[in-house]
Amino acid sequence: MDAFVSHESACDVLRLVGAAPRWPDETRSLPPADACVSGQRDFRSRGVGERLSSLGLADRPVDLIVPEKGARSSGRLVRAHMWRGVVPSRSMLNLGNGLLVSGPELAVVQFCSAQGKLDALLDAHASAVRAEAEMAAELGLVDKPAIDHPLKLERMRRLIAATVVACEFAGTYRLAAGEKNVSYRAPRLMSAATLAATIAKVGDTSGTRRARCVCDLMLEGSASPMETVLGLMLTLPVEYGGFGIEKPQLNCSIDVSSHRGELADRNVVIPDFLWPERRVAVEYDSGEFHAARAGERFAHDAVRANILAVLGYHVLRVVPQTMRTLGGVALLARQIAYFLDTKLEPTTPLQDLRRRKLYLELMPQVRS
């Protein structure tokens, strides 16, 4: 009997484990229900919890996929999800002893496929609208406040959450499960191309359609959570709350070897964000990497920015204070748009509301 760890639990495991054999060799369905761990009893008797705890995953319940609706079980230890789709070839990690974990691409697809009940959300929205209308009436306000549709807002929130996970796995940092610490210089686990390939194998479902949107929205090569947040704030469509700026390249090399010894002291410069055709670069200055060596890193970043500047690049420097207010991010977006010779799309009151919500959604992930 095998346990197929999926969804958010799979994401947590992927942050903890290294390379592992891939399963299956060929695209197939899940094994029959009686061959899959699905309930609390199987979870305990098969020692799945102990195996996951040895990897560093202590959170419960654990997300598992099962092939049939009747096999679903939810409780203190297990949260089972029905998976009718195929399991694409080499889309899961085989950790041995009957423990299989969705790989990064399949985990993102599952993230996009999960649809919780929204009745409570609708009830809360109705109450909030009534309370806001009553408050406005008491204050003598006649203008109607911008109010978003709760289902549309929640679907966008979930899509952006999946995009954040995709950026992490397509980047070089990991958010350790259950920890505030971030590990850097990790290997990239996936790309937009490998995600698209997995989506094609799974086939056309509501989940894969959302996952295709993630392919379009995600950024590759991010080296830190703050780079992901800044990149998404700048590039997500205005309809989602972003500023709609064209995607940059993240942490891509620029060959400056021909200028070494005269204008450069190195062969390669790697800016955080680069729009190569417009020769625009953004450098994020932060003490995230090795706080004890922050001064050394700032000096290194300054030299890098100077090399780019003398070679004709427009270089914008971003510090944590820039990101602490939405106004600071908006000013940076206008400055980037100026150098890109483009204009930011005007926003409606509803889009302004979504921008505030997007900022509030993304920023708590990096403030700690």
Residue 141: per-residue pLDDT: 62
State how far the Cα of 324 lies from the Cα of 230, in Å rounded to an integer: 11
Q: How confident is the model at residue 131 (pLDDT cuts 50, 70, 90)?
A: confident
Write down the pLDDT at residue 154: 83
pLDDT of residue 132: 67
Summarize the confidence of residues 53-69 as an average pLDDT: 93
pLDDT score of 28 more than 70: yes
Place of tokens 């890098």: 304
pLDDT classification of 290: cutoffs 50, 70, 90: very low
What pLDDT is stored for residue 69 in this prediction? 83
- What number is the average pLDDT over the span 195-200? 97
| pLDDT band with cut points at 50, 70 and 90 for residue 326 | very high
E strand segments, the chain? 3-5, 22-23, 62-66, 78-82, 92-94, 99-102, 173-175, 182-184, 249-250, 254-255, 268-269, 273-275, 280-284, 314-318
- pLDDT score of 148 more than 90: no
> H/E element holding 182?
strand 182-184
Task: State how far the Cα of 351 lies from the Cα of 331, in Å rounded to an integer.
Answer: 17
Instruction: Provide the residue count of the chain.
Output: 368
Confidence of residue 368 (pLDDT cuts 50, 70, 90): very low
Average pLDDT, the chain: 88
